[in-house]
Amino acid sequence: MIEMECTCAQKHHSIPTEVIEVSDHAIEKVTDILADYHRIFMVADENTYEVAGKRVEELLRQAGSLSHTLVLPPSALPSAENVGRVLMEAGRDREIYDINAWSRNPDYILAVGSGSINDTCRMVSYRMGIPYGVAGTAPSMDGYASVVAPLLNHGKKIVYTCSIARHIIIDLSINARAPYALLLAGVGDMIGKYVAILDWEISRELTGEYYCKQIAEMVLKATGQCVEVSKDLKNRDLSVIRATSEGLILSGKCIAFCGSSRPASGTEHMIGQTWEVMDVEEGKVPNLHGIEVGEATFAAIEMFRLLFRETDDRLMKDLIGKYLPAFDRIETLQQTLRLPFTVMDRNRFVEGILRGRTFRARYTLLQYLYDRGMLEDYAGRVYDTVMKKYFFTAFKEQFPDWEA
């Protein structure tokens, strides 16, 4: 358990995570880290099995603690279907000949993968009441330590409460070899945190929402470190991979500390996730979460800048003013990093902003603008700025072979 005393209304934050191991060759320590478990059910997909699962399986088998393994098809999505598959394969019924006996459950679920595998296993762990952990293969999102998972269910993307990982094992040399699109997605998910914390501050002032200064400061610090090193992402330096991984884990940890995704998800996530949902509604496979969130972050930044210039609301001016230097740093980062975009169509871009406001019950800049009759105007105006300033390549052009 990780605990933190605090001066906020919660006074005390804790999560059930026991070990966070971020190091070179971290997976070699898997049997030591999971020494208390003896019937481990390992879940991977074909890609993650190749890069890490095979080795983890071998180590667990040697230690006598592997129950069995399930390998899903490559790039398996966090869908109700895959949650169902993992659930159905969790037991080893074929070994039980007593038809009156209950199915023997594993005592631990180990997810080997990143966003999708992790979210799928978290859900199964929560429903079965079995602890789970993750051997992460790509620093592509902040869900490793999170308490919620967005899952695809019957044509909808729904955020469910799920288990928090007991163990997070990040092998830096494996993560450094992750597909470049996933590395970019990790940075995209991370740069939005400035917007998320600013939204949280605005809500604290305008709606009296609970706010934890310590958590907010931790997230801002991790974001700063990540923005600082990400310009060198292409080199896949272990120090860059470490900073991104640690930033994402810390952001997830803060979500769990807080009990909601408030410290890590504001305007940018509501817009980005709406674009994802629009894909799902049209029967398409949604784009990478972090890529959508990255693009939406630029929309959010430009709306904040516009409001800062035009408003005479003193409070808003002061709050936004504190974050302007951080927004400048993100803008500079984009000049070097060139995060690819997926939404270039004006109507789609604007619809994401308008519908994003009600993506979840959360007070953000979107609600502030809507209440003052300004949202539609701002959405249209920032589209031009965002495309002119931040767009370099379309995701599909940069990664033509990317599936899912």
Q: Which residues here bind Zn ion, judged by CB under 5 A?
A: 6, 8, 189, 212, 214
First to last CA, the chain: 35
Query: Which three-class secondary structure state does DSSP give residue 20?
Result: strand
CB of 61 to Zn ion, least distance (A): 34
Task: Give me the least distance between CB of 299 and Zn ion, in Å please.
Answer: 15
Please say which residue, 75 or 214, places its beta carbon nearer to Zn ion. 214
Residue among 131 and 150 whose Cβ is closer to Zn ion: 150
| Nearer CB in complex with Zn ion: 2/6 | 6
Residue listed under structure tokens 């958590």: 215
Do 106 and 84 contact (CB within 8 A), yes or no? no
CB of 392 to Zn ion, least distance (A): 22
Least spacing, CB of residue 404 vs Zn ion, in Å = 17
30-to-131, 133, 158 alpha-carbon distances in Å: 15, 10, 32
CA-CA distance, 251 to 255, in Å (whole number)?
Answer: 6
CB of 378 to Zn ion, least distance (A): 23
- Which H or E element spans position 70? strand 66-72
Nearer to Zn ion, 23 or 214 (CB): 214
Query: Distance (Å, rounded) from C-alpha 24 to C-alpha 292?
Result: 29
Please tell me the distance from the alpha carbon of residue 284 to that of residue 98, in angstroms, as a whole number. 45
Question: Toward Zn ion, which CB reaches closer, 30 or 301?
Answer: 301
Q: Tokens at residue 301, please?
A: 């930044």
> 6 vs 206, which CB is nearer to Zn ion?
6
Task: In whole angstroms, give the CA distance from residue 34 to residue 57.
Answer: 13
> Using N-to-C axis directions, what is the helix angle for 375-390 and 346-356, rounded to 10°?
130
Distance (Å) of CA 130 to CA 105, 108, 249, 256: 9, 6, 21, 18
| Shortest Å, Cβ 290 to Zn ion | 6
What CA–CA distance (Å, rounded) separates 251 from 50? 28
**Minimum CB–partner distance for residue 203 and Zn ion (Å):** 16
> Which one, 130 or 366, has the nearer CB to Zn ion?
366
